[in-house]
């Protein structure tokens, strides 16, 4: 049993825009690339060239079809640690290896304390924990803690790898505890949601739902669902014949 901080200074997290995520996997692979040499290095890959390649990924993108009454919609859904405020993965940890940072709310694992019991992965409702079978320790998204404060990087690069690389601009990073931050405003504007809010873990990361789709002519401001033909087509030609144009 590990304690959560009463309160964190900041609530750093991600805002993920499901309206424009095209499922390209850039965030997942760039995360892997950064982190396999980063704070929790390596992100071990077993059987990399064989029948069952299986590696540690801090971020995975799932694509599936939401099938409903009025047709289907393909949804691309990136999934990583949501850095919950009531992080069950922390409270369940018997050794104190899983912890939530008081200063910024990032949930981390101290590998030196981790005994690989996997209780945290059972407790996490989002399946965001990644066990490294070879190293025998639990790994997870660090919110690129070795990037976001890194003075050896250009200031623009001090954001998580997934955010910096996302081609569609579907990922945002910031302090969700500050109501005036860009990310908080975005969440307010777009109706950002907690994933499985009913579970009560108060995830820090938010998902922006797809915008309403423009399906009717009125959605683009057109007056009618079809054009009005010129009454008599021969008169249309006559009108065109009389046109005096210039170059």
Partner 1 sequence: MSANMSDAVETSPKVADEVKYTTCYMCACRCGIKVYLQDGKVRYIQGNRNHPVNRGVLCGKGSAGIMQHYSPARLSKPLKRVGPRGSNEFVEIEWDEALEIATEWLGNIRKTDPKKLAFFTGRDQSQSLTGWWASQFGTFNHAAHGGFCSVNMAAAGLYTIGGAFWEFGEPDWDRTKYFMMFGMAEDHDSNPIKIGIGKLKGRGAKFVSVNPIETGYTAVADEWVGIRPGTDGLFVMALIHELLKADQVDFDYLARYTNAIWLVIQDEGAADHGLFARDEDGNPLCWDQEKKAPYNALAADAKPAIAGEYTLADGRKAVPAFQLFAQRYLDEQYAPEKVADTCGVPAEDIKRIAAELAHVAFKEEIVYEAEWTDWAGRKHDKYIGRPVSMHAMRGISAHSNGFHTCRAIHMLQMILGSIECPGGFRFKPPFPKPIPPGLKPAKEVAPNTPLGGPPIGFPTGPEDLVVEADGTPKRIDKAYSWEHPMASHGLMHMVIHNAWKGDPYPVDTLMMFMANMSWNSSMNTKGVIEMLTDKNEETGEYKIPRIIYSDAFFSEMVPYADLILPDTTYLERYDCISLLDRPICEADAAADAIRYPVVEPDRDVRGFQEVLLDLGARLGLPGMTNEDGSPKYPGGYADYIVNHERAPGIGPLAGWRGKDGDKQGRGEVNPKQLEKYIENQSFWTYHFKDNQRFYKFANKDYLETAVELGFIPKAEQIVMQLYSEPLQKFRLAAEGHGEIQPPERERERVKNYFDPLPIWYPPFEEDQVDNGEYPLHALTQRPMHMYHSWGSQNAWSRQITNFNKIFIHEETAAKYNIEDGDWIWITSYHGRIKAQVKTMTGVNKDTIWTWNAIGKRRGSWNLKPDAPEGKKGFLLNHLISELLPEKKGDYRYSNSDPITGQAAWFDLRVKIEKAAPEEQGESAPQFPVMEPVPGVQNRPELLQYGAEFRKARGD
Residues 105-144 binding partner 1 (CB under 8 A) are 108, 110-113, 134
Is 155 a binding residue for partner 1 by CB under 8 A? The answer is: no
End-to-end CA, the chain? 80
User: Does residue number 6 form part of the binding site for partner 1 (CB under 8 A)?
Assistant: no
User: Which token pair is 3?
Assistant: 């304690």
User: Which residue's CB is nearer to partner 1, number 198 or number 224?
Assistant: 224
d(CA 31, CA 45): 14
Q: Of the two residues 198 and 223, which places its CB atom closer to partner 1 in the complex?
A: 223
Give the H/E segment covering residue 192. Answer: none
Nearer to partner 1, 47 or 86 (CB): 47
Query: 8, 80, 164, 181: which one contacts partner 1 (CB under 8 A)?
Result: 164
Q: Is 5 in the site for partner 1 (CB under 8 A)?
A: no
Q: How far is CA 224 from CA 40, 88, 218, in A?
A: 58, 54, 7
DSSP one-letter code for 85: T
- Residue 77 backbone dihedrals phi, psi, to 5 degrees: -130, 100
- Interface positions, 39-68, toward partner 1 (CB under 8 A): 39, 41-51, 53-55, 57, 63, 65, 67
Q: Which is nearer to partner 1, 1 or 227 (CB)?
A: 227
């Amino acid at each position: 049993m590990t304690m959560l901080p009463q309160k964190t200074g900041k609530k750093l997290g991600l805002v993920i825009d499901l309206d424009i995520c095209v499922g390209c996997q850039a965030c997942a692979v760039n995360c892997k690339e950064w982190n396999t040499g980063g704070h929790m290095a390596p992100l071990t890959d077993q059987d990399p060239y064989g029948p069952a390649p299986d590696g540690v990924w801090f971020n995975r993108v799932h694509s599936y079809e939401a099938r409903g009454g009025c047709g289907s919609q393909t949804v691309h859904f990136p999934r990583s640690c949501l850095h919950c405020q009531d992080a069950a993965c922390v409270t369940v940890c018997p050794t104190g290896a899983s912890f939530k940072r008081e200063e910024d709310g990032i949930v981390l694992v101290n590998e030196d304390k981790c005994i690989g019991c996997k209780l945290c992965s059972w407790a996490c409702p989002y399946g965001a924990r990644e066990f490294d079978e070879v190293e025998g320790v639990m790994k997870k998204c660090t919110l690129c803690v070795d990037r976001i404060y890194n003075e050896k990087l250009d200031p623009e690069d001090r954001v998580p790898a997934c955010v910096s690389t996302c081609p569609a601009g579907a990922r945002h990073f910031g302090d969700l505890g500050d109501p005036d931050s860009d990310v908080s405003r975005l969440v307010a504007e777009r109706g950002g949601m907690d994933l499985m809010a009913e579970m009560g873990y108060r995830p820090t990361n938010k998902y922006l739902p797809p915008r309403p789709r423009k399906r009717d002519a009125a959605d683009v401001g057109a007056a009618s669902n079809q054009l009005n033909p010129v009454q008599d087509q021969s008169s249309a030609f006559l009108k065109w014949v009389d046109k005096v144009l210039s170059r």
